[in-house]
C-alpha cells in the first residue's frame, strides 16, 4: 500500500514507539536451534560494537563471527542431507521441555541441560557443526589466550560447557584444572558502582543515503533489519554504557493525502500517552530546520530515562530516540550531543519555470520537472516513490514507479491503464473523480485523471 491512512498512521507510530521495549516479549517459544542461532547473532552483533570495558579491561572474543556463521550454514546444509535424522515428536514430555531447559540453566545443572539438548536434538550432523566444532574453536581460543600469561574471564553459551566434547572437558584434557564457583550473596554495592561508570564516547556524523537526515552518534547506525509498514529503522547500541540510539523514518505522504501539519501532530499526540513506555514525564513543542515536532521524556517501569525528538515533514514522521540504564540519558552530555546535532534538509521554496529542476533517475524510465531533487523511497514489493514539495504553493508531488510483468495475457495499454487507475481510485483518501483524459507522455499511452479529497484536489 503506497499511502498511509490516518488510522494506519496512528497504529504504525504506536508500534514503533514500543517495539524496542517489547522485543523480548514473544508469544511463542522458538525451537532450541532457532534460539541458539538468534542468541549467537545478538551476541556477535553487540560484541562487535564494544570498544572497551567499563572497568578498563581488554576485550576479545573466542569465536570469529564470519567463521561461526559459516559453520551454522554448513550445519543446516548437513542436517538437510542427513538420512538418519530423528523425526520430530509432537508429544510433550515435561521432563525435557523448554521450561525444564530454562530451569537447568538457571540452577547451573549442566548435566540436565546436556541431557535435554540431546533428547531434543533431531540431527547429529547439525550438532557436529553447530555445537561440537564450535566447542573446539572456543576451547582452543581460551588456551591460546591463557598461554600469553594473562588472566581471563570468558563467557560462552551454557550448551557449550557440558559433556565429553564440551569446553570444560576439552580444557581438562589440555591440562587445566577446573572447578565450579558457587555464587553466594552478590556484591550489590560493587555492581551498582560499576554500572554508574560512564565510559567516554566519541560522536561522529551519520547521514541517511538520501542526505535528508543526519545526526551525530557514538557509532554507525545499523539497519534494524525489521520493517513495520515500510518504516526505516536504524540504531546503534552503546553496550559499554548500556544505552542505545535510534532513528526511525515513517512514510506518511501527508502532503499528497491533504493531511495538514496540525492533523499529523494530533495523531502523534493521540498515541503518545498510550504507547510511550512507563510514565510520560514531559512533552514540549520544538522546531528544527523549519520542521515542527515534539520533545518527549519518559521513565520506564524499571526506572530507565528515555528521550525522544519527533518531527513532522510533508512526507514523513522522523523519530529520534535515546535510551539508557537508570539516569544515563538524564545526566551527562551524551543526550544533548545526540539531539542537538539533528539536521533535516529543507525542501526550500521554488518558483515554477526558474528554480524547478528536471529530474531523471540514473537508470532512466522517466523524467519530470520538480521543485527540487526528490526524496526516493524503495519499498519491498511495492516499487519506488519519488516525492517533492513546493513550499510556495504548499503542494506535494509524488511519482510511483512499479514494475508490472504480465506474462499471462496481453491487453491494450488503455486496459492496463484503466486497471491501475481503478486501483488508485480505491484508496480511501480519494473522494471522487472529477475528470479523465487518455493522452500520451513521451510517446507512451497515459491517463490524466483528477480527483477530489476533502476539497483538496489530487491529480
Delimit the domains of the chain by residue range: 6-21+197-344, 357-458
The residues, any chain, with a CB within 8 Å of residue 330's CB and separated by 6 or more, are 305
Q: How many CB atoms lie within 10 A of CB 223?
A: 10
Residues 100-111 have pLDDT tens digits of 888 888 888 888
Q: Are 199 and 50 in contact (CB under 8 A)?
A: no
pLDDT for residue 7: 53
pLDDT for residue 444: 83
| Cross-strand partners of 423 | none
> What whole-number distance in Å separates Cα of residue 95 and Cα of residue 112?
10
**Among 103-107, 207-211, 292-296, which stretch is predicted with the lowest mean pLDDT?**
103-107
Q: How many CB atoms lie within 10 A of CB 300?
A: 14
CATH topology of domain 6-21+197-344: Protein Transport Mog1p; Chain A (3.40.1000)
> What whole-number distance in Å separates Cα of residue 344 and Cα of residue 360?
24
pLDDT for residue 84: 75
**Among 39-53, 192-206, 289-303, 357-371, which stretch is predicted with the lowest mean pLDDT?**
39-53
The residues, any chain, with a CB within 8 Å of residue 175's CB and separated by 6 or more, are none
Burial classification of residue 66, based on how many CB atoms lie within 10 Å of its CB (0-12 exposed, 13-18 middle, 19 or more buried): exposed
Residues 412-435 have pLDDT tens digits of 777 878 877 887 777 777 777 888
For the chain, give the percent of residues with pLDDT over 70: 76
* Closest-CA residue to 330 (of 370, 369, 281): 281
Per-residue pLDDT for 260 more than 50?
yes
* Closest-CA residue to 350 (of 412, 393, 381, 291): 393
> Which tops the pLDDT comparison, 68 or 424?
68
Instruction: Fill in the DSSP letter of residue 25.
Output: -
- Residue written as cell 565429553? 164
Q: Are 20 and 244 in contact (CB under 8 A)?
A: yes
**Among 128-142, 184-198, 249-263, 351-365, which stretch is predicted with the lowest mean pLDDT?**
184-198
> What whole-number distance in Å separates Cα of residue 120 and Cα of residue 96?
8
> Which tops the pLDDT comparison, 211 or 407?
211
Per-residue pLDDT for 74 more than 60?
yes
Q: Give the mean model confidence (pLDDT) for residues 118-145.
A: 89
List phi, psi (to 5°) of 22. Answer: -110, 10
> What whole-number distance in Å separates Cα of residue 433 and Cα of residue 456?
12
Report how far apart, in Å, the C-alpha atoms of 280 and of each of 153, 284, 324 are: 40, 12, 16
Q: What is the DSSP string of 292-335?
A: EEEEEEEE-TTS-EEEEEEEE-SSEEEEEEEEESTTTTTSSSHH
pTM for this entry: 0.65
Cell of residue 73, nine digits: 550454514
| Cross-strand partners of 47 | none
pLDDT for residue 381: 65
| Cross-strand partners of 214 | 207, 343
pLDDT for residue 283: 92
Residue 277 — pLDDT band, cuts 50, 70, 90? confident
Q: Are 68 and 44 in contact (CB under 8 A)?
A: yes
Averaged confidence pLDDT in the chain: 78
Q: In 3-state terms, what secondary structure has residue 106?
A: helix
pLDDT for residue 9: 55
Diameter of the chain measured on Cα atoms: 86
Q: What is the DSSP string of 183-207?
A: --S--HHHHHHHHT-------EEEE
* Closest-CA residue to 399 (of 426, 366, 429, 435): 366
The residues, any chain, with a CB within 8 Å of residue 226's CB and separated by 6 or more, are 19, 233
Cell of residue 60, nine digits: 576479545
| Cross-strand partners of 368 | 359
| Cross-strand partners of 404 | none
The residues, any chain, with a CB within 8 Å of residue 282's CB and separated by 6 or more, are 295, 296, 297
Amino acid at each position: 500500500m503506497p499511502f498511509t491512512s490516518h488510522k494506519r498512521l496512528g497504529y504504525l507510530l504506536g508500534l514503533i514507539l514500543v517495539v524496542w521495549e517489547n522485543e523480548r516479549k514473544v508469544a511463542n517459544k522458538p525451537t532450541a536451534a532457532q534460539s541458539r542461532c538468534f542468541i549467537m547473532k545478538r551476541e556477535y552483533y553487540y560484541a562487535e560494537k564494544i570498544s572497551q570495558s567499563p572497568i578498563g579491561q581488554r576485550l576479545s572474543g573466542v569465536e570469529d563471527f564470519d567463521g561461526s556463521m559459516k559453520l551454522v550454514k554448513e550445519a543446516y546444509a548437513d542436517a538437510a542431507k542427513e538420512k538418519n535424522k530423528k523425526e520430530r515428536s509432537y508429544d510433550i514430555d515435561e521432563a525435557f521441555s523448554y521450561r525444564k531447559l530454562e530451569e537447568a540453566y538457571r540452577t547451573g545443572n549442566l548435566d540436565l541441560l546436556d541431557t535435554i539438548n540431546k533428547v531434543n536434538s533431531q540431527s547429529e550432523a547439525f550438532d557436529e557443526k553447530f555445537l561440537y566444532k564450535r566447542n573446539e574453536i572456543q576451547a582452543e581460543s581460551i588456551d591460546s589466550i591463557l598461554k600469553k600469561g594473562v588472566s581471563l574471564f570468558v563467557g560462552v553459551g551454557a550448551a557449550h560447557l557440558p559433556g565429553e566434547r564440551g569446553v570444560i572437558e576439552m580444557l581438562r584434557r589440555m591440562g587445566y584444572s577446573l572447578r565450579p564457583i558457587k555464587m553466594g550473596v552478590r556484591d550489590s554495592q560493587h555492581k551498582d558502582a560499576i554500572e554508574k561508570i560512564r565510559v567516554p564516547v566519541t560522536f561522529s556524523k551519520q547521514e541517511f543515503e538520501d542526505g535528508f537526515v543526519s545526526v551525530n552518534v557514538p557509532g554507525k547506525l545499523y539497519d534494524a533489519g525489521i520493517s513495520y509498514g515500510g518504516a526505516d529503522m536504524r540504531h546503534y547500541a552503546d553496550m559499554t554504557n548500556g544505552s542505545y540510539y535510534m532513528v526511525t523514518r515513517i512514510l506518511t505522504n501527508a502532503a499528497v493525502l491533504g493531511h495538514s501539519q496540525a492533523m499529523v501532530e494530533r495523531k502523534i499526540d493521540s498515541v503518545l500517552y498510550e504507547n510511550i513506555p512507563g510514565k510520560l514525564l514531559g512533552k514540549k513543542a520544538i522546531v528544527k530546520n523549519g520542521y515542527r515536532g515534539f520533545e518527549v521524556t519518559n521513565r520506564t517501569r524499571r526506572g530507565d530515562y528515555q528521550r525522544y525528538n519527533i518531527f513532522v515533514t510533508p512526507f514523513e514522521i522522523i523519530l529520534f530516540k535515546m535510551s539508557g540504564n537508570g539516569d544515563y540519558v538524564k545526566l551527562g552530555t551524551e543526550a544533548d550531543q545526540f539531539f542537538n546535532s539533528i539536521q533535516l534538509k529543507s525542501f526550500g521554496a521554488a518558483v515554477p519555470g526558474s528554480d524547478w529542476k528536471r529530474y531523471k533517475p540514473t537508470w532512466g524510465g522517466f523524467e519530470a520537472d520538480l521543485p527540487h531533487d526528490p526524496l526516493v523511497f524503495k519499498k519491498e514489493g511495492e516499487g519506488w516513490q519519488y516525492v517533492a514539495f513546493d513550499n510556495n504553493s504548499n503542494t506535494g508531488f509524488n511519482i510511483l514507479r512499479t514494475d508490472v510483468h504480465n506474462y499471462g495475457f496481453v491487453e491494450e495499454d488503455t486496459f492496463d491503464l484503466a486497471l491501475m487507475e481503478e486501483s488508485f481510485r480505491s484508496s480511501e483518501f480519494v473522494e471522487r473523480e472529477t475528470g479523465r483524459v487518455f493522452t500520451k507522455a513521451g510517446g507512451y499511452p497515459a491517463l490524466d485523471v483528477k480527483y477530489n479529497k476533502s476539497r483538496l484536489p489530487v491529480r
